[in-house]
Amino acid sequence: MGAALLLVVSFAVILAGALVFTNAIEWLGHRLDLGQGATGSVLAAVGTAMPETLIPIVAIIGAAEGSEEVAVGAIIGAPFLLATLAMALVGTSAFIFQRRREQGLALKADIETLDRDLLFFLAFFGIGLIAGVVAPGPVQIPLAVVFLLSYVLYVRTTLRSGGEVQEMETIGRLYMDRSDGEQPPTRLIVLQLAVGLAAIVGGAHLFVEEMIHVAESLGVEPLVLSLILAPLATELPEKINSFFWIREGKDSLALGNITGAMVFQSTIPIAFGLAFTAWELDRFAVVSACLGLAGGALAYVTLRTRGRFELIPVTAWGALFGAFFVYVLATG
């Protein structure tokens, strides 16, 4: 009971830190005069991806027994959830608010950014899956470098074609700003970024320790628990932002927040896993990754080529996540 309670506390700390961090990220994007596509796919995506990215890093640095399994599970589980359950959430919100949305179920987003994000995700998450199956060994470090450089190239390209700049009225007030000024000072934005990051790191450290304890007490493999629980706790809550952005018809921000995080999660954390773990994926991780790729491919076909939200794909995204849950219960 004590470990479970501390696990809940670690969730709260991580999410509070992420909330503070992403609020500052939006103000930073506005201050840097970045387009909504770039803000959503780079700044917001990296900010909301920070908690689950730090979980494997903290796990490996801690070097506790079972920590590598937690790390691999968190690395694979986050893209899987983004490409399935997070997409289902966004699609569901489009149907709920279709009468409120000026464009209805039609997609009003930066197509160039969306196209690049989804294809980038499919390519690199697929490579990461293949590497985890064949266990390349000697080439893992060079492959990790390729993943890192590819993300740098992606960021550079996205920043050059980020769409329209987000209006200040659409950004929530900076939490640390108590002045009457319309725009918070840069020093407060940077300070809030640092505070949010510190909370995320501390919460991630506690999360890893208690995750291992809970897994041991339940008789469950840490990898299986981290594949499901870590992304649900750290990734999905921040994606609620996308739910509200869809309601307001801000599809570029909503989808960029998700697809940009998919790109980030399929490169930087996997590069870390390739460099600092054996990167050998067991059957649960392989099934999770395959379903995530299926969800990403479905997103590309539906959103990029169809240009609208449709009921069948939205249902399918939820079914893909549910299928993995059933698989774990049936075979785990």
Instruction: Check the CA dihedral 25-245-300-110 and report its sign.
Output: negative
Alpha-carbon distances of 107 from 63, 110, 294, 309, rounded to whole Å: 45, 9, 21, 7
Confidence of residue 230 (pLDDT cuts 50, 70, 90): low
Q: Residue 183, exposed/middle/buried by CB under 10 A (0-12, 13-18, 19+)? A: middle
Lowest mean pLDDT among 78-82, 121-125, 126-130: 78-82
Most trustworthy range by pLDDT among 22-36, 98-112, 116-130, 256-270 = 116-130
Residues 6+ apart with CB under 8 A from 160: none
The secondary structure of 37-73 as a DSSP string is HHIIIIIIHHHHHHHHHHHHHHHHHHT-TTHHHHHHH
Instruction: Please report where in the chains the tokens 């870390």 appear, as a residue.
Output: 272
Please state the domain count of the chain: 1
For residues 25 and 47, the answer to whether their CB atoms sit within 8 Å is yes
For residues 246 and 109, the answer to whether their CB atoms sit within 8 Å is no
Q: Which pTM was predicted?
A: 0.77
Say yes or no to pLDDT of 104 above 80.
yes
Instruction: Please report where in the chains the tokens 């981290």 appear, as a residue.
Output: 226
Structure tokens belonging to residue 276: 């600092």
pLDDT value for 295: 96
pLDDT value for 244: 75
Q: Provide the CATH number for the domain around residue 29.
A: 1.20.1420.30
User: What's the mean per-residue pLDDT of the chain?
Assistant: 81
pLDDT in tens, 12-61: 887 787 778 777 877 877 777 766 556 666 766 676 666 667 777 777 77
Percentage of the chain lying above the pLDDT 70 cut: 80
Residues 6+ apart with CB under 8 A from 104: 98
Say yes or no to pLDDT of 305 above 90.
no
The secondary structure of 263-282 as a DSSP string is HHHTTHHHHHHHHHS-----
Lowest mean pLDDT among 1-15, 66-80, 128-142: 1-15
- DSSP state, residue 166: P
For residues 83 and 236, the answer to whether their CB atoms sit within 8 Å is no
pLDDT in tens, 143-157: 999 999 999 898 888
Q: Return left, alpha or beta for 31; rule: phi > 0 is left, psi -120 to 50 is alpha, else beta.
A: alpha
Question: How would you label 223-238 residue by residue, b for 16+ Cβ within 10 Å and e otherwise?
Answer: bbbbbbbbbebbbebb
pLDDT value for 124: 96
- The identity of residue 315, as a single letter, is T
Confidence of residue 225 (pLDDT cuts 50, 70, 90): low
321: containing domain:
2-331
Structure tokens belonging to residue 65: 């027994």
DSSP alpha helix (H) spans, the chain: 2-31, 36-38, 45-62, 67-81, 87-96, 111-134, 140-160, 186-218, 222-234, 240-247, 251-265, 268-276, 283-299, 311-331
- The identity of residue 193, as a single letter, is L
